[in-house]
Chains A and B, each alone.
Chain A
Amino acid sequence: MASSATVGDLVSQPYKYGFVTDIETEKIAKGLSEDVVRLISAKKNEPAFLLDFRLRSFRQWLQMEEPDWATLGHPPIDYQEIIYYAAPKQQEKKASLDEVDPKLLETFEKLGIPLSEQKRLSNVAVDAVFDSVSIATTYREKLAEHGVIFCSISEAVKDHADLIEKYLGTVVPGNDNYFAALNSAVFSDGSFVFIPKRVECPMELSTYFRINSGDTGQFERTLIVAEEGASVSYLEGCTAPMFDTNQLHAAVVELVALDDASIKYSTVQNWYAGDENGKGGIYNFVTKRGQCRGDRSHISWTQVETGSAITWKYPSCVLQGADSVGEFYSVALTNNRQQADTGTKMIHVGPRTRSTIVSKGISAGHSSNSYRGLVQLGPKAVGARNYSQCDSMLIGDQAAANTYPYIRSQQPDASIEHEASTCRISADQLFYLQSRGIAFEEAVSMMVSGFCRDVFNQLPMEFAAEADKLLALKLEGSVG
């Protein structure tokens, strides 16, 4: 019989972003020590408070142990084998894009992120980060007219030191966890966003992270502050070349929302995932946390995680202000030998705080996909509510899905709902779609995007279609 298509192993199509840009790079020697921390800080001409922050974090990191509680397995990481700073030469930030190395512009163009004036995405301002440095930020002047600051964190350290000193490390302290401490010691670049009081950011903000060098770690740091009544929607994207070795990516993202402020943070993560046998790929250990510091503030995380060999990531909300709202919408797709342990923490501190968690895990191939989430209601969180929904979809019979919900409540009358489901794409469903002229792979991707619809609906319009396509690509090449 001609039809050999069954729901079996799924092989990703070749990773589209796996190329390396041939560009002269300034790198420091590999390895990590207090001197390296000082060197990074010196390269960036940082003020004393920041060097202190780095050194304190580094000393604490030395005392810490790498966490091992996640459902992940990998050989030990040798932190002395990593290069902690790499930058394209002449990386002095350019006043105009005309002065940026055309090779870099070309690289981003190839990634679908045109930076030049004529081709820019309309209504999306982009900060482009290449290895350890930001090379360009678009639409800065237009944003400045509204009082919005959008620049690399290195520039913010120079131009807005007061804001950095006031907010950096206040949501994720330097000693928060092993990977956050490492990041706090050696972070090189990332984005800074500041939305002043009562300003609604006039455009989408976006940072695109690109790892290029093979032996380099990327340690970016993002800080977003929305003052009283301000609102912003921000999106990050990421890709990396294909290397046989594993690369470490340990980022920290901090969000601060004051009274009535709203921050929507979306991620489309497509780091190189390694080959079908699990060789190579990015180790993605990320700490993302938002603090609803003000009353009635609102923080929403949306993530589409498709890449990385290992994903360890729990975008969280600390709901401190009364009536504040936290949301987490996630799609995590793993294929081949990928491993993901991801979820969220909703820490309800203030009264009448509310949180919603919608997590969709899709496991194909020999991958392992775990949801790990904490819902915590403290003694003052009177009238707090949470709703969680965790759905898993299995493709083939070699993949694993786990759900680890943790609930800690000090509110006897709290309303906490948790729903979970697991489904498998059935052969009969696929045959039904095929018998209507829809090819096997399109049928799989229709069902997968149907499964993810609740989450994709949360993405900014420009990127929802993108996410849909990305998942389809990742599942293409299914064989029986």
Chain B
Amino acid sequence: MIRPDAPVLLEIRDLQARVEDQPILKGVSLTIRAGEIHAVMGRNGSGKSTLSKVLAGHPAYTVTGGTVRYVGDDLLSLEPELRARAGLFLGFQYPVEIPGVSNLEFLRVATNARRAGKGEEELDTFAFEDLVRERLQVVQMDPAFLERSVNEGFSGGEKKRNEILQMALLDPLVAVLDETDSGLDIDALRIVAGGVNHLAGPDNATLLITHYQRLLDVITPDYVHVMAVGRILRTGGKELALELEERGYDWVDAELAALERTPAEVG
């Protein structure tokens, strides 16, 4: 839902980042207001996953330039856990398994960390169990998954549902969902997308990172951004995604080549 007067939640300006010696992001700018759903599309290696990791604060990535304002704060100066407590959520493409740590306990500690960030009281184990059982329905997840170790032995689809369950518990202001559709069959995709749609509201925003149109068939974006070689090449409405679907990514290459030629010709 686009409302020009809605408050800005995330404002990325000319963001540049590298991993080891390899520059990946080469100047990304993006403004996200409350109530909006954005989709960033692009080929593998375009830098779209890096963007999500940099926003969440992954230590393997080094920011080399630009700024990110998050609800008025300098996001990049915050430790990853503080970003999460402030309501930034990253849904992982490949959620890791953490043997020995109970999923229920993990969800409770995470939920309470976020509640502390909102200035809310901690939930005790009973109150939390009530909450988690209610939120399980958002992703139609079997309560048995609460008793297992975090993601251990979960199928690809179960891991993604566990991610959306976390999103449902953590009540994020900005949810960045990295390739949430990858590895999902059509039923699981519908459930996961249903969860995302259910959680999207006028006060929060969603940034979908995806390779394929099929996710956008079930979650309608307000904006679609096409990313290539570390930059946002084009921004449009949902029809841009359909165009990509039709024409493939080849025209992006042509546009990119044109872009790279231009300065020389002009110069």
Contact = CB atoms under 8 A, between A and B. Distances in A.
A438 B61 contact: no
Nearest to B53: A431
Given A436-B166, A442-B109, A429 B84 contact: no
A2 B57 contact: yes
A435 interface: yes
B146 to A, nearest CB: 15
Contacts of B99: 450-451
Interface string B95-107: 1101111100110
B244 interface: no
A4 B56 CA distance: 14
Contacts of A3: 57, 59, 79-80
A437 B98 contact: no
B59 to A, nearest CB: 5
The residue in A433, A447, A452 that gathers the most chain B C-beta atoms within 10 A of its C-beta is A433
Interface string A407-436: 000000000000000000011110111111
A1 B76 contact: yes
A2 B78 contact: yes
A438 to B, nearest CB: 6
Contacts of B48: none
A436 B113 contact: yes
Given A1-B61, A431-B58, A439 B81 contact: yes
Contacts of A90: none
A452 B100 CA distance: 8
B110 A436 contact: yes
Contacts of A436: 81, 84, 106, 109-110, 113, 166, 170
A426 B58 CA distance: 13
B106 A433 contact: yes
A437 B170 contact: yes
Contacts of B166: 436
A6 B59 contact: yes
A437 B59 contact: no
A72 interface: no
Interface in B79-134: 79-81, 83-85, 90, 92, 95-96, 98-102, 105-106, 109-110, 113-114, 117
Contacts of A480: 59
A16 interface: no
A464 interface: no
A450 B149 contact: yes
A426 B100 CA distance: 14
Nearest to A425: B98
A435 B60 CA distance: 14
Interface string A440-464: 1010001101111100000000000
B199 interface: no
B96 A447 contact: no
A302 to B, nearest CB: 18
Interface residues of B, number: 36
Given A435-B57, A435-B84, A2 B76 contact: yes
Contacts of A453: 100
A450 B101 CA distance: 5
A429 B80 contact: no
A429 B100 contact: no
A439 B110 CA distance: 10
A433 B79 contact: no
B235 to A, nearest CB: 27
Give the size range of A's interface with the partner: 20 to 34
A438 B96 contact: no
Given A437-B113, A447-B100, A451-B100, A427 B59 contact: yes
Instruction: Give the residue among A2, A4, A439, A452 with the most B Cβ atoms within 10 A.
Output: A2
A1 B62 contact: yes
A44 B57 CA distance: 65
Contacts of A437: 81, 84-85, 110, 113-114, 117, 170
Contacts of B149: 450
Given A3-B57, A438-B110, A446-B101, A432 B81 contact: no
B63 interface: yes
A5 interface: yes
Contact of B98 (A1, A433, A440, A452): A433
Contact of A429 (B56, B61, B76, B96): B96
A440 B57 CA distance: 13
Contacts of B170: 436-437
Nearest to A437: B113
A432 B92 contact: yes
B172 to A, nearest CB: 11
Contacts of B80: 3, 431, 434-435
A63 to B, nearest CB: 48
A305 B70 CA distance: 45
Contact of B95 (A432, A446, A447, A451): A432
B137 interface: no
Contacts of B110: 433, 436-438
Nearest to B117: A437
A437 to B, nearest CB: 3
A429 B58 CA distance: 11
B77 interface: yes
A3 B113 CA distance: 18
A480 B60 CA distance: 13
Contacts of A5: 59, 79
A2 B101 CA distance: 27
Q: Which 9 A-B pairs have the closest CB atoms?
A: A450-B100, A437-B113, A436-B110, A437-B84, A450-B101, A434-B80, A437-B85, A434-B81, A432-B96
21 contacts: A1-B63, A1-B76, A2-B57, A3-B80, A5-B79, A426-B96, A427-B60, A429-B98, A431-B58, A431-B80, A433-B98, A434-B84, A435-B81, A435-B84, A435-B92, A436-B110, A436-B166, A437-B113, A438-B113, A439-B81, A453-B100
